[in-house]
Structure 1
Amino acid sequence: MSAEPRARVPRRPVHGVLLLDKPVGLSAQAAVSRVRSLLAAEKAGHTGTLDPLASGLLPVCLGAATKFAQLQLDADKAYDATLRLGVRTSTGDAEGEIVATAPVEVQRLTPAGLAAVAQRFTGPITQVPPMYSALKKDGKPLYVYARAGVEVERHPRAVVIHALTLSLAADDPTALRLQVRCSKGTYVRTLAEDIGAALGCGAHLSALRRTATGAFTLDRAITLEALAALSPQERLHHVLPTEVLLRELPVVTLDEADAARFLSGLRRRGPWPAAEQVAVFGRRPRALLGVARCAGGELIPLRLLAPTEIAQTLQQSLS
């Protein structure tokens, strides 16, 4: 006897950002799908992948917020990580096979010695992307080549390590705790391997937790379990308004007539200083309209919300 088909949950328009504390073992896309299902949302996406072996902050964009996800993709990130010293793996993390071991020179692991190593990797540095990464070569991710045993030439990339601290793990003399704030595109696995090389023993990343992305921090995030335990209406209370993605941008506010013309894609003239990106709001009711560029006294539309999205967002804020 065949099983009864599962009833489809009707989707609804949900707009905004949910800060998720992603668990270990779940891909970023699977986590987004779970959030979308719990909120019964029509559309969802994330703002930068987080490996299954990593946990921590994953901003999930819903509805209209997906139009501005790139701003978080470009944001600085912060991580807490654990490095296993004396062991190198094929992937640079705990998922790979051991490829080399070496004795750990404990005398180099003094606070002064670790601070000196951290200083070497602070500021502008270059990294060679790992083979086990989603970067593409001829349309295929590098990890596809890596799994086939093919090594592909990778060019060094410039990144910035804004802050880095290293300290011995309290319960393990062969483990280091790493705290880092870095620019987009930084591979913490590669940083772990390079630090291990600098210490003369090699290392791999054994644990990784993202604690911040841009102005968002982990202390405001919710777990999937906690979200699932709430009622459908209570879950919506954890969705931040779309404009939180734009809070670092200058703000331009338009009256009703100019707002309507702006939403139709027309440039507006006004005394606005030049800016590559500004957040544009309507005055009455106050509502996010989109993102624009200011140049030569003109407001030039870049990404606009649809009138239906604006109306749905206003309605959502009243619920």
Structure 2
Amino acid sequence: MASGLLPICLGEATKFSHRLLNANKTYIATIQFGVTTTTGDQEGEVISEKQVVFNEVQLKETLQKFIGDITQVPPMYSALKFEGKPLYEYARKGIEIERKSRQITIYDIKLIKVEGSVTTLEVSCSKGTYIRTLAEDIGQALGCGAHLKGLERTQTGNFQLSDALSIEALEAIAVASREKILLPIDALLEGLSSIELTSTETEAIKKGQSIDFISKNEEELRLYSASGKFLGVGQPDLQGHLLPKRLIANIL
């Protein structure tokens, strides 16, 4: 049911993979209204079926109510853990665990297509958003229930599905040529400001030493040598220093 973009980090890039987990996401979600299931998607057993009576105007008005900061209760069929076990293990045994609601942000919902009781949406959201739960909540708000019929991730941070390669396309490329299609490590960090260091500053950073740096905030920075080589990420403090936080190995 789920498909789409999956960024993969190799080697030193894995040091910055957490930025993908924390990044905003965009999905194409296909929702079946009028049918609820045990899992919130089409793989579960049908719980209830109701007639779908809303029109497109009512649908658009309802979707608008879900844009912005909202709260979600994570689904039982999820990998979130309770007492060391993922929730889906409890769900498969018919055990319901009380879950705390969490705040998420829905940046935008675009109505792509309506075909009878099936609707396709484009959803841009923050990390931690469960599109299954969003589909169920929209269905509940419309009074007919719903489940997620299909899901495709089209964007993670600044990475787009349109720029990705399928497994089949990757396999068709000669092994010796595959490295040429890899993005540089700092492509993971395009949201960060950058600074260029002098040769003296570069050597200090390589040794794990701080350098003098005046900053009005403590936001991480991309670090580059005078020759433009990516060094890693630095962390400024408010006392006039810049400390190395995460450096790539081949510059040490």
| TM-score, normalization by structure 1 | 0.76
Shift of 1:273: 4.5
Match of 1:130 in 2: 75
Equivalent positions of 1:12-31 (< 5 A) are none
Equivalent positions of 1:197-276 (< 5 A) are 197-276=140-219
Match of 1:289 in 2: 231
Shift of 1:168: 4.2
Kept in 2, the 8 Å contact 1:268–1:298? The answer is yes
Match of 1:299 in 2: 242
Shift of 1:167: 4.9
State the identity %.
46
Q: Is 2:19 the partner of 1:71?
A: yes
**Which of residues 180, 185, 189 is equivalent to 2:123?**
180
Match of 1:60 in 2: 8
Q: CA offsets per residue over residues 237-256 of structure 1, 9 Å max, x none?
A: 22100001111111122222
Counterparts of 2:190 and 2:202, CA distance in 1: 20
Structure 1: 5+ residue stretches without partners: 1-52, 312-319
- The CA RMSD measured in Å over matched residues stands at 1.5
Structure 2: 5+ residue stretches without partners: none
Shift of 1:214: 1.0
Shift of 1:271: 4.0
- The letter of the residue matching 2:242 is L
- The letter of the residue matching 2:209 is L
Kept in 2, the 8 Å contact 1:161–1:180? The answer is yes
Residues 224 and 167 (structure 1 numbering): CA distance in 2 closer, same or farther, change over 3 Å?
closer
**Which of residues 52, 55, 67 is equivalent to 1:109?**
55
Match of 1:118, SS state, is helix
Shift of 1:73: 1.1
Shift of 1:90: 0.7
Match of 2:152, SS state, is strand
Equivalent positions of 1:37-52 (< 5 A) are none
Q: Is 2:34 the partner of 1:86?
A: yes
Number of corresponding residues:
251
Residues 226 and 283 (structure 1 numbering): CA distance in 2 closer, same or farther, change over 3 Å?
same
| TM-score, normalization by structure 2 | 0.95
Shift of 1:294: 1.1
Shift of 1:56: 0.7
Shift of 1:233: 2.7
Counterparts of 2:55 and 2:112, CA distance in 1: 8
Match of 2:97 in 1: 152
- The letter of the residue matching 1:256 is S
Counterparts of 1:264 and 1:109, CA distance in 2: 64
Counterparts of 1:288 and 1:167, CA distance in 2: 40
